[in-house]
Amino acid sequence: NAGVTQTPKFRVLKTGQSMTLLCAQDMNHEYMYWYRQDPGMGLRLIHYSVGEGTTAKGEVPDGYNVSRLKKQNFLLGLESAAPSQTSVYFCASRYARVNEQYFGPGTRLTVT
Amino acid sequence: AQSVTQLDSQVPVFEEAPVELRCNYSSSVSVYLFWYVQYPNQGLQLLLKYLSGSTLVKGINGFEAEFNKSQTSFHLRKPSVHISDTAEYFCAVSPYGQNFVFGPGTRLSVLP
């Protein structure tokens, strides 16, 4: 099992550009999450999904969109990147009835 | 709403010394409690969790934590640290079945 994988690992964007981050899991987990990690602030939830075709906003959703067309994939989109979105992004997943999240290795995004 | 406080942003300790990383939380409902570890340039890995039962929880790599409901604390301890324990440690809470809330993290530096 690969677990939770994230693509790409690193990316540099210019302000106003768009991009999509891909998260994939092979554990048949129902729930998937996108977090951002900033120094001194821990992890903050951007969006999450409790099943294929469903998404919901987390703590800091502005400027991001998500889609979960397939159970194993959760996409995070930035339509018009801003320097404030420079961060490390983590994807996580879990079974609906087991309270333990599994994390991907992260994507380091820099917006100039 | 829930919140998590990790009182120490950085903890330096000498190798083979004991360490305690403090975590306090605020919640109006019962919660599950977690400690995650993040090694440099990696994702988060579960160290241990408290769901119910004994308030002393043992995890991987010799770590343990004690849940204190009256003090709303879940401090992490290890009797003798190794250089390889150098990492960032995150405390998290989850109201039953709901999303996680992470603390800001404590950076543990083990000195030779």
Picking from A33, A48, A106, the nearest residue to B43 by CB comes out as A106
How many angstroms separate the CA atoms of A25 and A32, rounded? Answer: 9
Is residue B75 within a helix (H) or strand (E), and if so which, with residue range? strand B73-78
From the CA of B64, how many Å to the nearest CA of chain A? 17
Q: What percent of chain B has pLDDT over 90?
A: 78
| Higher pLDDT pick, A3 / B96 | A3
| Nearest-Cα residue of chain A relative to residue B93 | A99
Rounded-to-integer distance, Cα B67 and Cα A71, Å: 35
The nearest alpha carbon in chain A to B52 belongs to A99
Nearest residue in B to A32, CA atom = B99
pLDDT score of A84 more than 80: yes
**Residues B43, A104: C-beta atoms closer than 8 Å:** yes
Q: What's the whole-number mean pLDDT along residues B85-104?
A: 90
Q: What is the pLDDT of residue A63?
A: 96
| B65-76 tens-digit pLDDT | 999 999 999 999
Question: Cα–Cα distance between B64 and B66 in angstroms, integer?
Answer: 7
pLDDT surpassing 90 at residue A98 = no
How many helices, marked H, and strands, marked E, lie in chain A? 0, 11
Task: Report, as an integer, the average pLDDT of A64-73.
Answer: 96
Residue A11: the pLDDT is 96
pLDDT at B62 over 90: yes
Cβ–Cβ of A44/B102 closer than 8 Å? yes
Q: Which residue numbers of B have CB closer than 8 Å to A's CBs?
A: 4, 9, 32, 34, 36, 41-46, 49, 51, 90, 94, 97, 99-100, 102-105
Q: Number of H helices and number of E strands within chain B?
A: 0, 12
Of the CA atoms within 13 Å of residue A89, those in its CB half-sphere come to 32
Instruction: Look over chain A and give the mean of its residue pLDDT values, rounded to a whole number.
Output: 94
Residue B111: pLDDT over 80: yes
- What average pLDDT score do residues A38-49 get? 92
Kindly state the average pLDDT of the residues A94-107. 90
Q: Is A61 on the interface with B (CB under 8 A)?
A: no
Is the pLDDT score of A105 beyond 80? yes
The stretch A91-96 carries a mean pLDDT of: 93
Does the pLDDT of residue B97 top 70, yes or no? no
Closest-CA distance of chain A to residue B97, Å: 7
In angstroms, the separation between the Cα of residue B82 and the nearest Cα of chain A is 23
Which residues in chain A are closer than 8 Å to B102, comparing Cβ atoms? 35, 42-44
